[in-house]
Structure 1
């Protein structure tokens, strides 16, 4: 059974991501015997992580095989997402199954510890109200997070000092709120764009991609992330894929970094407002109105959408040249730009990318309704996916 225990994690990961719906598929994917897979699935079932259908269904060659699924009553993890003006919490099971999200505001002018304390206290109430055991906690933050010291950098959008120890504070406040995780499981925190990419790769539009580039935008700025062979590429210190500082228009808008035409200011919601002739600080509802107007045939709105789409395409092309991904997934705002310029955006990427003429990289809209929150859940599940026996007891 030593060989079986060594593949417990890979087996659970395959079931978690939908890659092994039956025992026969799992047997082929792991390259082990049917007897070994029987022992593996029995142990995962005993840990309340999966269920094994007692009634075999037809296999690929007509051979009956037991269906596998995640246990709907098994353990959960805490998924948390920090925004610039609030936070979201949810409990998440395996299989990318996110419970009802809880959206709450933050107190004005709160410091980092106060913010994370508020989140931890609300999380404790959420966990206490659930009959399912919590075995992990993940936080998606709107800032780059260094590895392995878990410091928040360039966190001006939160009003936090550069180098805030967000990982240590998150861990301390969860513990102070009475949230106990299994031995060896540490509450985790990472950049929200990175986590959204991980979630889309496992459960969304990036499924089955080998090299996945994810491009997203929040209220301000543009973020990127790369998943290679199922793993996030975060660089030597967790700060890779900060694509927002790419120059896409040398005569463009002034960026906070002091230069002009960075992707951060040329391809986010404020850029669309500016292209339409509105102040960058206009309500975000105006962004939706411009996108809607473009689809309805409003010329000024369409020109604004195309203006931003061209600059987004230039930025994506530059990253594609360096990384050579086989798929690009776009977050919500950029997916709307793709819908508004379905030919122009892909054509810009193909024309500007060095290898574009030899096979344009597919651009796909994100599929998950809350990819950052789903990514926080994936981060929280990582220790259990690596060693399912952590949930024993």
Structure 2
């Protein structure tokens, strides 16, 4: 999860979004859903609605034949399940079969467009992003706003809630929920912020309750479900969830995401499709892993944390340069990572990043590491060096190299927030029909 802000505001690209602490809603299973026993057809069909929607939502079942195999059901059961999801307005079933392979052609399955939507919002160090989001990780025209003059919790959450409500009122889609990605740790299940290094919110700020209240006050309009369900989570965790379902993490059983945005370093772990958030939502504070005991001071009070050795400030310090205070920091750092005159500085920061990734790999044994934010640019600048450092410091050495890959999802924090808002309906698609 994140320990300091990694937002990128309007310049955010697939790699810049960091991610979250997923609270009350479980994440989806990966791979085919295998029922433990066969139920009577009608009851079984209702039970399979959620798993079926997840498979279509994540692109694992583009046809009814693929869904039949993934669910391990009969054609009739798969037909009944897709018919119910279509009746709920969540998917479409193309009556023209998809051909080109062996066996009987199968009907194409697609997510309804336009279908219902949720409000996805994200707070960054330098702004607020909001979008309406459908199923399938699809964002619709994200809006990026500057931070308000007052960055206290009520004022900042009001800004996010009102921006989302404006999108909901202006759109023509039914809005089913809202979720917010935060550049802070978020405790579970109470949804409080134990520390907020960037916005200096008081410890224990009840951000979940405040966001729910501000969303209700903002009035998302007559097409929004009332009361509108809301949720909040840490942005690094949400980015990991987005990458696992829709990006570079697809198919990984144990996915580690490490990211650095505006400042600081965050991380998240997805195990068998579920975020690992620890006993109270605060797991994976990877930024406070020590990689140089004599290194730069960290905001946590220690020295040489990954947080302080591999973020944007660290790269500028290693290069002996100062960023322009009137321009967003992350784009400047990303440009510096590509500057051939900064190669020595990049090498120093890459070595520290490699030490941190190796330590995490020794403990967590992921089968894939996804890097985003500035770390994606460091990977692009020195892929062989980073891989070599990780391999040399990892217990399994070069024979057990872990793939280190760049993030793929644009605005991953927002996409992850959408996943959080959609979660109750992925669990129970029939809840869509409830007013």
TM-score for the superposition, normalised by structure 2: 0.86
Distance across 2 between alignment mates of 1:358 and 1:82: 41
Structure 2 equivalent of residue 230 of structure 1: 273
Answering whether residue 151 of structure 2 is matched by residue 110 of structure 1, we say yes
Structure 1: any 5+ residue segments left out of the alignment?
A: none
Query: Secondary structure of 2:238's match?
Result: helix
Partners of 1:59 and 1:65 within 8 A in 2? no
Partners of 1:271 and 1:280 within 8 A in 2? no
Cα deviation, residue 185, structure 1: 6.5
Structure 1 equivalent of residue 334 of structure 2: 288
Cα deviation, residue 255, structure 1: 1.1
Q: Deviations over 1:16-62 (max 9, x none)?
A: 00000000110111111111111110010011100000111127533
Distance across 2 between alignment mates of 1:62 and 1:185: 45
1:115-134 aligned at under 5 Å gives the runs 115-134=156-175
Query: Secondary structure of 1:158's match?
Result: coil
Distance across 1 between alignment mates of 2:324 and 2:363: 33
Moved over 6 A (4+): none
Answering whether residue 309 of structure 2 is matched by residue 266 of structure 1, we say yes
Q: Deviations over 1:102-138 (max 9, x none)?
A: 0011222332111111221221111011111011111
Q: Deviations over 1:145-187 (max 9, x none)?
A: 0000000122121121111111010111111112375479631
* Higher RCO (C-alpha under 8 Å, 6+ residues apart): 2
Partners of 1:274 and 1:280 within 8 A in 2? no
Structure 2 equivalent of residue 220 of structure 1: 263
Aligned mate of 1:368, from 409, 420, 427? 409
Structure 2 equivalent of residue 204 of structure 1: 247
Structure 1's 127 and 314: CA in aligned 2 closer, same or farther, altered over 3 A? Answer: same
Distance across 1 between alignment mates of 2:254 and 2:142: 30
Partners of 2:323 and 2:332 within 8 A in 1? no
Distance across 1 between alignment mates of 2:378 and 2:196: 27
Aligned mate of 1:332, from 362, 373, 395? 373
- In the alignment of these two chains, the number of paired residues is 388
1:367-386 aligned at under 5 Å gives the runs 367-386=408-427
Cα deviation, residue 292, structure 1: 2.6
